[in-house]
Amino acid sequence: MKVRRVLVANRGEIALRIVRACHEEGLEAVAVYSDPDSSSPHVRAADAAVRIGPGPAAQSYLSIEAILAAARATRCQAIHPGYGFLSERAVFAEAVEAAGLGFIGPPSAAIRAMGDKTQARRRMQAAGVPVVPGGMAPLEDPREAGRLAEQLGYPVLVKASAGGGGKGMRLVHRSADLPGALESAASEALKAFGDAAVYLEKYLVRPRHVEIQILADEWKTIHLGERECSIQRRHQKLLEESPSLAVSPQLRREMGQAAVAAANAVHYRGAGTCEFLLDASGRFYFLEMNTRIQVEHPVSELVYAVDLVREQLRIVRGLGMGVSEWPLAPRGHAIECRITSEDPANGFLPSTGTIEHLQVPAGPGVRWDGGIETGNQVGLYYDSLLAKLIVHGEDRPSAIRRMLRALDELVVVGVGTNQAFLHRLLGDPEFARGEIDIQFLERRADLLTPAADPVRDARIAIAAALAEAERRSGQKPLVASDGGDREGTDEWGRAGRIDALRD
Ligand code: MV4
């Protein structure tokens, strides 16, 4: 398909990420924006921009008609949906295909096949991909559920067939609780997905969440190893890394082969991700497939030296992926931190306001995928992801140290962020040993709040008192000495003190 101009149907960091990839591929990029986003970085980075509606997503980024109209008006040949919003709506992919435009994602049939969880489980099992023991079709009646649960052994998990992301999920420890769980899961599923169908799975205790990145064109399907995504809270990932400490080269080959088989079973094209649960004994089970570019794609890019968004663009144009050697070997270790406008110490309450000042980390091995800048408003219309901070190092300990250094450089003034929490997490000995699973943050709630630190409190009080005294006296600030054993001999310190004594 001939593509010269791409409509970027998203906002924030991922929209900017896609605009950059278009430009590197020699393509024009058209941004769309809602009213509160009119001066966002993704709008200015694009070659043209179209207003699609007011703040509420339902009237802008989720409006299929508004997006298609913007693509027509600017004569784009393809649409990149990014993640979230319309990215996994089969009806949107169909509408894009029907309009004669390229959908930068898999065929709508692949989205549909993976969106129905029990259908996906049947197709995966047929393709030889291990799935969690459980039902292979929606439950018909409670008696059937009881029999299956006894057979699987408690605890079991009730899941929504149309679900994903944890909605409509119920953990059941004993048979007496099963009927109630089936009922409440079904009603939650009906509300959330318009489909009350539920099924049962054996509940896995304390697994890791490990996902495999895949890439498929008309000629081949490859994988780019795994991402370790166990550090999450209420299904919101907070930190991802690649590779996973729990995955040996042998296991990587096995999981990679399973993910490639999963993709081929639904005739997948483009970038996609197979989610697995990995138990303590190294057994892995297919959970679901995400048929989009994911938030955490950069860690795979750094470790495998592949630009996944550029590959998506190549593939939709029919050029085939640029990756020729295969299998690819991972190099070093990458970590991504999601910088959100949420306060972990206060139940992850979202914070709003204007970004008064932003200092972005840089230097060796540091990547900033951001969608905000000084002066931008952070509101409540969209999710709280401000930016992603990604580092690459020669091994995991150096990547951790590099992330701590980068977090030290980051300054966000005007809205609260989770920066201090991420710093505590990266500095934690248990995290450093890699002893993580999906329940890590539930166990380690201590990391959510700052440890009592009277010395730090005293320093903050002194700094505040000094700032106030300085304001009152109108004096120039004294330049701090380096505090080391050369105190009083440092030339910069001397110059600063002389300067401060002037006039
Ligand atoms: C599970 C599970 C344990 N056992 N299935 C959560 C959302 C959906 N994607 C699947 N999920 C889970 N399915 C079985 N049989 C635990 C979870 C789960 C989870 C999975 C991945 C990442 C974070 C999670 C947090 C809580 C529960």
Question: For the chain (length 503 residues), average pLDDT per consecutive 10?
Answer: 97 98 98 96 98 97 98 98 97 97 97 94 97 95 93 97 85 96 95 94 97 98 98 96 98 98 98 98 97 98 98 98 93 98 92 96 98 93 96 98 98 96 98 98 95 91 94 75 55 71 66
Ligand 1 pocket at CB < 6 A: 132, 157, 164-166, 201-204, 209, 232, 235, 277, 287-288, 438
Q: What is the pLDDT of residue 154?
A: 97
Q: What is the pLDDT of residue 490?
A: 67
Q: What is the pLDDT of residue 182?
A: 96
Q: What is the pLDDT of residue 277?
A: 98
Q: What is the pLDDT of residue 484?
A: 52
Task: Cis check for the bond before 106: say yes or no (omega within 30 of 0).
Answer: no
Q: Which of 132, 148, 169 to mutate to test the pocket of ligand 1 (most atoms within 8 A of CB)?
A: 169
Q: What is the pLDDT of residue 482?
A: 57
Q: Which atom of ligand 1 is nearest to the CA of 234?
A: 25
Give catalytic status of residue 424 as yes or no: no
Catalytic residue selected from 292, 310, 317, 396: 292
Supply 121's token pair.
């489980």
Tell me which H or E stretch contains 377: strand 377-378
425 contacts 240 by C-beta, under 8 angstroms: no
311 contacts 304 by C-beta, under 8 angstroms: no
Distance CA 269, CA 312 (A): 9
Q: What is the pLDDT of residue 485?
A: 52
Q: How many helices (H) and strands (E) does the chain have?
A: 17, 24
Q: Hey, whose CA ends up nearest to atom 17 of ligand 1? A: 166
β-pairing verdict for 221-228 and 333-340: unpaired
335 contacts 394 by C-beta, under 8 angstroms: no
CA of 404 from ligand 1 middle (Å) equals 29
Q: Which of 114, 157, 202 to mutate to test the pocket of ligand 1 (most atoms within 8 A of CB)?
A: 157
CA of 481 from ligand 1 middle (Å) equals 52
The string of DSSP letters for 399-458 reads HHHHHHHHHHH-EEESS--SHHHHHHHHT-HHHHTT---TTHHHHTGGGGSPPP-HHHHH
